[in-house]
């Protein structure tokens, strides 16, 4: 695995990478204009790109790591690498957001690897303290259960569910961000959601 921040968007070799994800990410990049301006040193664009990406990156890292403080560090490090990358970004090869997700995922993997064995994720703490206005306290309780169930997933399955369900990445972008094939991604998602359904079976009506 490349050092975080030096990521290219080719697919990883090895199991699950038999067929590269198609490069449809080349078509359009909604961040292209901002990235160009950041590359020219426009601090207004830096603020705009940060405002656009910071919530996504903190959510991604928080759901991966189960720790808000660490998630904020990952988000900041990812954005610093984004600002550094902007002047040399090669447009048309991949979406900037996909690359940024790959950076953040690799930073999360590094942190998870450094943790002591048995260090429990505290995903229970990662629930919005305010009740959803339309669903009241029950949503908070369900959110706690979902967080706990996600914490029990193997890391790769958790990555797949987080990227596709919570980050709304398409299957190709998610596969590229994780460095796997689209088939491997689909397999991870199926197993992950099956495990979640089993863990939450008393709530699935």
- Contacts with other proteins in 77-96 (CB under 8 A)? 79-80, 83-88
- Name which of 195, 167, 169 is nearest 21 in CA terms: 169
Shorter beta-carbon distance to other proteins: residue 69 or 118: 69
Alpha-carbon span 54 to 114, nearest angstrom: 24
Name the CA radius of gyration of the chain, rounded: 17
Shorter beta-carbon distance to other proteins: residue 12 or 145: 145
Minimum CB distance to other proteins, residue 117 (Å) = 26
Q: Count of residues binding other proteins (CB under 8 A)? A: 69
71 near 58, Cβ under 8 Å?
yes
Q: Rule CB under 8 A: say whether 41 interacts with other proteins.
A: yes
Alpha-carbon span 170 to 98, nearest angstrom: 10
Q: Rule CB under 8 A: say whether 186 interacts with other proteins.
A: yes
176 near 98, Cβ under 8 Å?
yes
Per-position x/- string for 114-153, each x denoting binding to other proteins as judged by CB under 8 A, each - no binding: ------------xxxxx-x--x---xx-xx-xxx--x---
User: CA end-to-end span of the chain, whole Å?
Assistant: 41
User: Helix (H, G, I), strand (E, B), or coil: what is residue 132?
Assistant: strand
> Which residues are at the interface with other proteins (CB under 8 A)?
19, 24, 37-47, 50-51, 54-55, 58-59, 62-63, 72, 75-76, 79-80, 83-88, 126-130, 132, 135, 139-140, 142-143, 145-147, 150, 161, 164-166, 168, 170-172, 182-183, 186-187, 189-190, 193-194, 196-197, 200, 203-205
């Amino acid at each position: 695995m490349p050092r975080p921040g030096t990521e290219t968007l080719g697919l990883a070799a090895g199991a699950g990478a038999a067929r590269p994800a198609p490069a449809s990410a080349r078509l359009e990049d909604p961040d292209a204009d901002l990235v160009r301006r950041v590359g020219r040193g426009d601090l207004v664009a830096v603020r705009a790109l940060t405002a656009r990406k910071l919530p996504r990156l903190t959510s991604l890292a928080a759901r991966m790591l189960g720790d808000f403080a660490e998630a904020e560090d990952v988000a900041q490090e990812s954005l610093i690498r984004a600002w550094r990358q902007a002047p040399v970004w090669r447009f048309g090869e991949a979406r900037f957001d996909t690359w940024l997700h790959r950076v953040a995922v690799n930073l999360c993997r590094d942190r998870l690897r450094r943790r002591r064995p048995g260090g429990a994720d505290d995903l229970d703490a990662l629930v919005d303290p305010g009740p959803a206005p339309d669903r009241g306290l029950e949503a908070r309780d369900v959110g706690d259960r979902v967080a706990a169930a996600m914490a029990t997933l193997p890391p790769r399955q958790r990555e797949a569910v987080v990227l596709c369900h919570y980050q709304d990445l398409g299957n190709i972008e998610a596969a590229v961000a994780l460095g796997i094939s689209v088939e491997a991604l689909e397999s991870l998602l199926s197993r992950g959601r099956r495990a979640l359904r089993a863990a939450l079976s008393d709530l699935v009506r």
